[in-house]
């Protein structure tokens, strides 16, 4: 496997960063997860734009132009002969000292991994998954804005640990006011009476790229998309619930906190959205050849 590391393609075993890198020491950095489908990098421009917005928000200078970053992604996919894969682009503050001061890090570290990923077992996409609400609340946006895809995911990891302890695959996180936010790595949607609802970003959720794709697809299927606050009560009484994310794509939810959602199996609208989403992954992105 070839890894892009600071301008070079190196073997996996040689892809090393310093123990003094502030991405490792403090989670000081940003990242993007991206998908390629049959030699098309889905929504690559949107992902790269978001990466640079995250970096700007934390005053992190990326030592590549956006065009150079796109080329680096494509070249890494080609080097690994991947037609279908998951791409992780990471930019850290770089090597510094043991203090917090970002001025002690003269140059950012950039690495790109292209590989395969399986976020949930295949059968859950057919049968649907059950999730639980966990005690760990979502970080408040005023402390760490969720639009910044930072390397500090401890908030999400703590919630994931609680899900594992409950013997389920995913955790539902609420915000400080008890409103539905998102899951540990995915946005959440509900459908009721042909209205498709997802929490607005101001409650503390990432403006996901798959999330936006689903909002765009919805009217084609006769659904009215809305961004509005959601409570657990709303989810319990939804006709359908599903999660979205780059790695997860679209996955049905059939149970929350011991309650069946709808009839307890993936709903028709969810299955239609999955089908329509697969269609756009074949045409919305940047093509490359192996």
For residue 264, how many C-alpha atoms fall within 13 Å in the half-sphere facing its CB?
4
Domain boundary assignment for the chain: 2-115, 122-280
Relative to beta strand 170-174, strand 2-5 is unpaired
Closest by Cα among 233, 178, 174 to 205: 174
Instruction: Provide the pLDDT for residue 196.
Output: 98
User: Domain 122-280 falls in which CATH fold?
Assistant: D-amino Acid Aminotransferase; Chain A, domain 2 (3.20.10)
Instruction: Provide the pLDDT for residue 232.
Output: 98
CB 181 within 8 A of CB 174: yes
Give burial (CB, 10 Å; 0-12/13-18/19+) of 247: middle
Paired strand residues for 183: 172
Question: pTM higher than 0.85 for the full model?
Answer: yes
pLDDT in tens, the chain (290 residues): 999 999 999 999 999 999 999 999 999 999 999 999 999 999 999 999 999 999 999 999 999 999 999 999 999 999 999 999 999 999 999 999 999 999 999 999 999 999 998 888 889 999 999 999 999 999 999 999 999 999 999 999 999 999 999 999 999 999 999 999 999 999 999 999 999 999 999 999 999 999 999 999 999 999 999 999 999 999 999 999 999 999 999 999 999 999 999 999 999 999 999 999 999 999 999 999 99
Instruction: Provide the pLDDT for residue 132.
Output: 98
Active site residues: 149
| Percent composition of the chain: helix, strand, coil (DSSP 3-state, to 5) | 30, 30, 40
Instruction: Provide the pLDDT for residue 119.
Output: 83
Which whole-number Å values give the CA distances from 44 to 83, 108, 148, 215, 288, in the listed order?
Answer: 15, 21, 17, 18, 12
User: Domain 2-115 falls in which CATH fold?
Assistant: D-amino Acid Aminotransferase; Chain A, domain 1 (3.30.470)
């Amino acid at each position: 496997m070839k890894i892009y590391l600071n301008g070079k393609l190196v073997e996996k075993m040689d892809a090393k960063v310093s123990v003094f890198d502030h991405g490792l020491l403090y989670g000081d950095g940003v990242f993007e997860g991206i998908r390629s489908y049959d030699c098309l990098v889905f929504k690559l421009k949107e992902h790269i734009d978001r990466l640079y917005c995250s970096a700007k928000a934390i005053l992190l200078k990326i030592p590549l132009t956006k065009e150079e970053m796109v080329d680096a992604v494509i070249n890494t996919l080609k080097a690994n002969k991947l037609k279908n894969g998951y791409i992780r682009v990471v930019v850290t503050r770089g090597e510094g000292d043991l203090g917090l001061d970002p001025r002690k890090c003269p140059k950012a570290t950039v690495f790109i991994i292209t590989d395969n990923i399986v976020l949930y077992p295949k059968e859950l996409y057919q049968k649907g998954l059950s999730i639980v609400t966990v005690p760990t609340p979502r970080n408040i946006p005023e402390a760490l804005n969720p639009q910044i895809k930072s390397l500090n995911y401890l908030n999400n990891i703590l919630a994931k640990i609680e899900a594992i302890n409950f013997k389920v695959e995913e955790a539902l996180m609420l915000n400080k006011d008890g409103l539905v936010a998102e899951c540990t790595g995915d946005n959440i949607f509900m459908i009721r009476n042909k209205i498709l609802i997802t929490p607005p970003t101001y409650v503390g959720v990432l403006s996901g790229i798959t999330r936006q794709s689903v909002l765009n697809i919805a009217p084609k299927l006769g659904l009215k998309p809305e961004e509005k606050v959601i409570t657990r009560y709303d989810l319990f009484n939804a006709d359908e619930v599903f999660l979205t994310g780059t790695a997860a794509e679209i996955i049905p939810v059939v149970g929350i906190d011991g309650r069946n959602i709808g009839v307890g199996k993936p709903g028709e609208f969810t299955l239609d959205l999955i089908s329509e989403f697969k269609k756009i992954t074949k045409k919305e992105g940047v093509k490359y050849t192996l």
